[in-house]
């Protein structure tokens, strides 16, 4: 898959070696993360809200109530900035200045498009469910026509985007490496706990294999 062409808004100026416009990397980060923070401005006031989402091909989809301030603003064509971040570890240096974190992140800029075609709208909502848990949409009831009518779905193209990644140990100066202080990394990962059945679950319904063994990373 070809890389994206950097725009003036997505070109990384600080630590550009950590930046990437590779679509394979961008897609991998988007496909692993669960939460997308969506930023927009309304009447001069900036807002940043967390949302569930899913990537389908060359766009990400997100949804919400037709009364949502965020979605209504984007529906009207407000510029949007969508960001996802995966935290991979804490980086502990010998100096306070060089403490850091290992992460993988993506920033997407653009203007969202409202999804109005019923087939695309249903497919987008199915993709969002599948993004959370693969195979789940086959087990549950899909949205009714009434639910579909009260749900606004938007599509944001992945055309102006960049990834940024930090990995590895702390970067201490040679002088600081003589300080007798432990330095290194604390790896972090999203870990699922044991599934908890709903209190109203009928007896005899087993925990699906995908739920019992849920892992975010392949």
- Longest Cα–Cα distance of the chain, Å, equals 67
Q: Would you say 101 and 90 are in contact if contact means Cβ atoms under 8 Å apart?
A: yes
CA pair distance 80, 11, nearest whole angstrom: 17
* Nearest CA among 110, 106, 113 for reference residue 160: 110
Q: What is the dihedral of CA 107, 80, 66, 114, to 10 degrees?
A: -90
Query: With 60 as the cut, is the pLDDT of residue 218 above it?
Result: no
φ, ψ of residue 173 to 5 degrees: the values are -70, 160
What are 75-124's pLDDT values in tens digits?
Answer: 888 999 999 999 999 999 999 999 999 999 999 999 999 999 999 999 99
φ, ψ of residue 47 to 5 degrees: the values are -130, 145
Strand residue runs (E) in the chain: 19-20, 36-42, 45-51, 54-56, 59-65, 79-92, 100-111, 113-114, 151-157, 160-166, 184-187
User: Residue 182 carries which DSSP code?
Assistant: -
- For tokens 């199915």, name the residue: 126
Q: Would you say 157 and 59 are in contact if contact means Cβ atoms under 8 Å apart?
A: yes
φ, ψ of residue 7 to 5 degrees: the values are -100, 170
Between 98 and 16, the higher pLDDT residue: 98
What are 149-187's pLDDT values in tens digits?
Answer: 999 999 999 999 999 999 999 999 999 999 999 999 999
User: Residue 6 carries which DSSP code?
Assistant: P
Q: Which CATH class is domain 16-168?
A: mainly beta
Q: How confident is the model at residue 21 (pLDDT cuts 50, 70, 90)?
A: very high
CA pair distance 199, 201, nearest whole angstrom: 6
User: Residue 138 carries which DSSP code?
Assistant: G
CA pair distance 116, 121, nearest whole angstrom: 7
Give me the mean pLDDT over the 142-153 stretch. Answer: 93
What are 25-79's pLDDT values in tens digits?
Answer: 999 999 999 999 999 998 889 999 999 999 999 999 999 998 888 888 888 889 9
């Amino acid at each position: 898959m070809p890389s994206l062409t950097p725009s003036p808004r997505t070109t990384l100026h600080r630590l550009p070696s950590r930046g990437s416009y590779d679509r394979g990397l961008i897609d991998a980060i988007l496909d692993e993360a669960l939460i997308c923070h969506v930023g927009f401005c309304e009447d001069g006031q900036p807002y940043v809200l967390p949302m569930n989402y899913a990537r389908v091909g060359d766009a990400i989809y997100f949804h919400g109530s037709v009364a949502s301030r965020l979605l209504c603003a984007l529906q009207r064509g407000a510029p949007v900035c969508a960001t996802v971040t995966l935290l991979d570890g804490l980086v502990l240096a010998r100096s306070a200045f060089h403490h850091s974190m290992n992460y993988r992140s993506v920033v997407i800029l653009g203007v969202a498009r409202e999804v109005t075609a019923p087939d695309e709208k249903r497919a987008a909502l199915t993709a969002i469910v599948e993004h959370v848990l693969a195979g789940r949409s086959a087990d549950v009831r899909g949205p009714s026509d009434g639910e579909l009518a009260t749900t606004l779905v938007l599509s944001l193209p992945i055309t102006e985007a960049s990834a940024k990644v930090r990995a590895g140990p702390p970067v201490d100066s040679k002088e600081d490496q003589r300080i007798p202080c432990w330095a290194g990394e604390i790896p972090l990962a999203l870990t699922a706990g044991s599934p908890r059945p709903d209190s109203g679950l009928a007896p005899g319904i087993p925990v699906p294999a995908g739920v019992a063994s849920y892992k975010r990373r392949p």
